[in-house]
Structure 1
Amino acid sequence: MNLSEHASAEHEISTAAVSRKQYLFPLILITSLFFFWGLVHNIDPTLIAHLKKTFTLNNLESSLVDFSVFIAYFLMAIPAGIMMKKWGYKAGIVFGLLLFAGGAFLFIPAANTHQYFYFLGALFIVASGLAFLETAANPYVTVLGPPQTSSFRLNLAQSFNGIAAAIAPIIGKYTILTNTEVTNESIQNMDAATKAKFIEEASNSVKAPFMVLGLIILAVAIIFIFLKLPEIKAQSSSVKEKSIVEIFKIKHTRWAIIAQFFYVGAQICFSSFFLVYAENAAGLDHHSSSNYLAVYGALFMIGRIIGTIFMRFIEAPKLLAIYALLAVILTIVAIFGSGTYTIYCLLGIGFFISIMFPTIFALGIKDLGEDTKTASSLIIMSIVGGAVIPLALGYIADITHNIQYGYSVPLVCLLVVLYFAYKGYKPSFNK
């Protein structure tokens, strides 16, 4: 799930073209940001599985990792916009990088406390920084070069999210996941001293990767402080925009906001609980399932590329409906099946949900004209579904004692997306 794909829809930008020598290095740095926040988002499943075992959490408690990340996005969206409107996008990027680095460094004292709550706090700070970065990065990508190639630069930068999705699980596998041979049952049978030592070792495994990440991000922040970037100025308009209430009365936009809420929630459920699901449904340990998770990330990226090509020949709502229906079928199999083939179902789901965010977004702002910016903000804020929906999955999995039954939650979410693709997308400016 990726906000960076739609930040450009929130901003109307005018700027003079700059020479290749002037924009190449800034473009490289801006593009690196897409990779870094993709890395954080896609290491969350590893963190959830690792912290769940370390602190013997239930599914609802472990889903607070996603809650901490996405509630930060929701709470920081407006402050980020206000700050950048007052001081500019460069200030927003630098501030976001400093928050990002600071949150990464906070994983060290969090590990020292051996308390789950402090890990959640560190994640919240990291995600707050990402909210600033994702709000600012796309406008810079669009101006760092000739206007006629802005779409190419944007798609190129976004592709680094997909690269991060494939790499992050492998990094997590070899740096964070420890004592994978220790079972949940053996942890419960440990005496107090042995369990305390296990928690200490497992907590410490998180220190090194986040310390390295923090140092890299801090170095990037310092570079940005001294880097001269093109000015970005929003175009003024004399046309009065509709209010939030008026925008929400527009049928296809209202349904896009609802569909995006449920889609983001579903996407986070599928990825974040991947390792937990693989352990329970297919009997795989976390190291083995990390390889599948990397494939999941790669298929998500490939699915987006192929879906974009298909849209040249198939109408977007129709393709969205086909993909949503196939994802629904695979989810049903994942809920009631057992064995390794259920993992292949999750991989297929990753492919088919890949086009949903951008497609829902584009259909939701269709024909809005001057009201596009306000509608875009509302659709983007609906990513708070990533904070709420996983809690429901965790709760159902806990009360049924079956993580697979918990996947009935993203199933319902996909049905909402299917309805949007079938009927809810149709432009209507009536209530």
Structure 2
Amino acid sequence: MDNPAAVRGQHVQSNRVALGVVTAIFFMWGFLTCLNDILIPHLKAAFALTWVQAMLVQFTFFGAYFLMSLPAGRLVAALGYKRGIVAGLAIAGVGALLFWPAAQLHVYGLFLGALFVLATGITVLQVAANPYVALLGPEETSSSRLTLAQSMNALGTTLAPLFGGLLILSAEPRSAEQLALLPAAEALAYRAAEAQSVQVPYFGLALTLFALAVAFWMFRLPTIAGVEDGARGGRLRDALRHRHLLLGVLAIFFYVGAEVSIGSVLVNFLSMPGIGEGLSEQEATRYVSMYWGGALVGRLVGTVLLARIAPRRVLGVFAVMVMVLLAVTMLGSGALAKWAVVSIGLFNSIMFPTIFALAIARLGTLTGEGSSLLVMAIVGGAVVPLAMGWLADHHGLQVSFLLPMLCYLYIVFYAWRGARLQD
């Protein structure tokens, strides 16, 4: 007869190995998502876009979460977590490959189409990987475990701006006014070269995604008893009867919308004359990297905090800190405003994984439905940046930070009231 203690030890060890393997996925989707912050200023210059037009990058990317999360949930339910992750990687790889013809033909709409396919793959990864990590151990440490996995996501978002700044924003940017002074053929050639500079980076990312898909197909991941192994959840409306999930869906919507909005304008905000004191767009990407690096540090620290302090309390305090920093960003100037906005990343760090874990707590066989709804709510990253772009076009970039501040106010409410479990 097997020794129960030895079996438990093997189970814990298997879960730890699985957690280590799945964190590679978190790194990749963080890296790919954060590259949008570099694509926006790049494509804005290459196609002479307004802020609203440029924010269509985020609208398309995060709109895929809304449109594809339910199909992704059905796909993962049919395939299981492991094969769902493999499918997500393959779909994302196809999306990255599509950047090549989009750049070759120099059509902004094709870039948006490629982003939609890429985001569809990441949607499948989100639906599969987030609940898998949350359920890969005791419920009371799910927030800490998911935050640890998300720290690899933050590592990806930290490195992506440096990668993008080196390979995508390496050319000297030219304003619309400067391009207007050039001969038409020369201006067109400049814009075409700008668009094509994304080809090699995204082709390399496509190969990496396909290689990861093959590696995961060959790796043996443990199943989650009672959730993945033959169990079937109820309908979406059954999941939404849980108040903490319903309010958590809104919290994810507002959090992702605020985080993506801030990241989308960082390069342009930091290179403003009154803020960055002469920083070029390429130099500003270093501060974007610091912004996401703060999220990495915060998640590593948060992994420890969340194991010792009630996750709701940590979430509420961090959201209040972000509101204070946004107020300084809006009202300040120079180095004060610059470092305030960069510091937001530190306090953003634990928010997504903590909200996610709080929202799916005690859902049982409805965990899959809850996960799909939470991933669908990532559409906030499509809606809020578009609204912030409109504010920036009409009232100035600095004033537009008021919108994410209101989003964080809701997160304070969710932390202190909305996430409470009903007996």
TM-score (norm 1): 0.83
Q: SS at 1:35's partner residue? A: helix
Q: Which residue of 1 aligns with 2:220?
A: 229
Provide closer, same or farther for how the CA distance between residues 195 and 308 of structure 1 changes in structure 2, counting only shifts above 3 A: same
Q: Quick check: 1:289 aligned with 2:284? A: yes
In structure 1, distance between residues paired with 2:410 and 2:394: 24
Q: Which residue of 1 aligns with 2:407?
A: 413
In structure 1, distance between residues paired with 2:310 and 2:254: 22
In structure 2, distance between residues paired with 1:427 and 1:88: 28
Q: Which residue of 2 aligns with 1:186?
A: 178
Aligned match for 2:314, one of 319, 335, 339: 319
Q: Where do 1:3-152 residues align within 5 Å?
A: 30-137=22-129
Q: Which residue of 1 aligns with 2:240?
A: 248
Q: Which residue of 1 aligns with 2:356?
A: 361
Task: Verify the 8 A CA contact 2:146 2:353 in the aligned structure 1.
Answer: no
AA of the residue aligned to 1:310: L
Q: Which residue of 1 aligns with 2:189?
A: 197
Q: Which residue of 2 aligns with 1:5?
A: none
Provide closer, same or farther for how the CA distance between residues 100 and 248 of structure 1 changes in structure 2, counting only shifts above 3 A: closer
Aligned match for 1:403, one of 397, 404, 417: 397
Task: Write out per-residue CA displacement over residues 160-214 of structure 1, whole angstroms, 9 at most, x where no aligned residue.
Answer: 2122121111100110003335234312433321210111110111111111111
Task: Write out per-residue CA displacement over residues 114-146 of structure 1, whole angstroms, 9 at most, x where no aligned residue.
Answer: 11111111111111112223333457768999x
Q: SS at 1:177's partner residue? A: coil
Task: Write out per-residue CA displacement over residues 254-285 of structure 1, whole angstroms, 9 at most, x where no aligned residue.
Answer: 32222221111001111122112212352422
Task: Verify the 8 A CA contact 1:169 1:290 in the aligned structure 2.
Answer: yes
Quote the offset at 1:231 in angstroms.
6.3
Q: Where do 1:207-222 residues align within 5 Å?
A: 207-222=199-214
Q: SS at 1:403's partner residue? A: coil
Task: Write out per-residue CA displacement over residues 324-369 of structure 1, whole angstroms, 9 at most, x where no aligned residue.
Answer: 2221121122123222321211122111122222232333345555
In structure 1, distance between residues paired with 2:184 and 2:267: 27
Quote the offset at 1:223 in angstroms.
4.1
In structure 2, distance between residues paired with 1:215 and 1:240: 35
Task: Verify the 8 A CA contact 1:97 1:221 in the aligned structure 2.
Answer: yes
Q: SS at 2:334's partner residue? A: coil
In structure 2, distance between residues paired with 1:34 and 1:313: 24
Provide closer, same or farther for how the CA distance between residues 119 and 414 of structure 1 changes in structure 2, counting only shifts above 3 A: same
Q: Which residue of 1 aligns with 2:302?
A: 307
Provide closer, same or farther for how the CA distance between residues 108 and 316 of structure 1 changes in structure 2, counting only shifts above 3 A: same
In structure 2, distance between residues paired with 1:321 and 1:411: 14
In structure 2, distance between residues paired with 1:90 and 1:362: 20
Task: Verify the 8 A CA contact 1:18 1:144 in the aligned structure 2.
Answer: no
* Structure 2 spans left out of the alignment, 5+ residues: 1-7
Q: SS at 1:53's partner residue? A: helix
In structure 1, distance between residues paired with 2:12 and 2:312: 39
Task: Verify the 8 A CA contact 2:299 2:350 in the aligned structure 1.
Answer: yes
Quote the offset at 1:243 in angstroms.
5.0
Task: Verify the 8 A CA contact 1:178 1:205 in the aligned structure 2.
Answer: no
AA of the residue aligned to 1:85: A
Task: Verify the 8 A CA contact 2:329 2:341 in the aligned structure 1.
Answer: yes
In structure 1, distance between residues paired with 2:134 and 2:357: 18
Select between 152-161 and 285-294 the one with higher mean Cα deviation.
152-161
Provide closer, same or farther for how the CA distance between residues 230 and 353 of structure 1 changes in structure 2, counting only shifts above 3 A: closer
Provide closer, same or farther for how the CA distance between residues 87 and 421 of structure 1 changes in structure 2, counting only shifts above 3 A: closer
Quote the offset at 1:32 in angstroms.
2.8
Q: SS at 1:273's partner residue? A: helix
Select between 237-246 and 46-55 the one with higher mean Cα deviation.
237-246
Task: Verify the 8 A CA contact 1:17 1:143 in the aligned structure 2.
Answer: no
Q: Which residue of 2 aligns with 1:12?
A: none
Provide closer, same or farther for how the CA distance between residues 304 and 87 of structure 1 changes in structure 2, counting only shifts above 3 A: closer
AA of the residue aligned to 2:411: V
In structure 2, distance between residues paired with 1:326 and 1:153: 23
Q: Where do 1:419-430 residues align within 5 Å?
A: 419-428=413-422
Give aligned pairs, total: 412
Task: Verify the 8 A CA contact 1:331 1:345 in the aligned structure 2.
Answer: yes
In structure 2, distance between residues paired with 1:305 and 1:355: 9
Provide closer, same or farther for how the CA distance between residues 188 and 73 of structure 1 changes in structure 2, counting only shifts above 3 A: same
Q: Which residue of 2 aligns with 1:378?
A: 373
In structure 2, distance between residues paired with 1:52 and 1:388: 18
Q: SS at 1:340's partner residue? A: helix
Select between 410-419 and 155-164 the one with higher mean Cα deviation.
155-164
Provide closer, same or farther for how the CA distance between residues 334 and 142 of structure 1 changes in structure 2, counting only shifts above 3 A: closer
Task: Verify the 8 A CA contact 1:178 1:202 in the aligned structure 2.
Answer: no
Provide closer, same or farther for how the CA distance between residues 408 and 253 of structure 1 changes in structure 2, counting only shifts above 3 A: same
* Structure 1 spans left out of the alignment, 5+ residues: 1-14
In structure 2, distance between residues paired with 1:398 and 1:159: 34
In structure 2, distance between residues paired with 1:408 and 1:229: 47
Q: Which residue of 2 aligns with 1:270?
A: 262
Structure 1 vs Structure 2 CA RMSD: 3.6
In structure 2, distance between residues paired with 1:265 and 1:411: 11
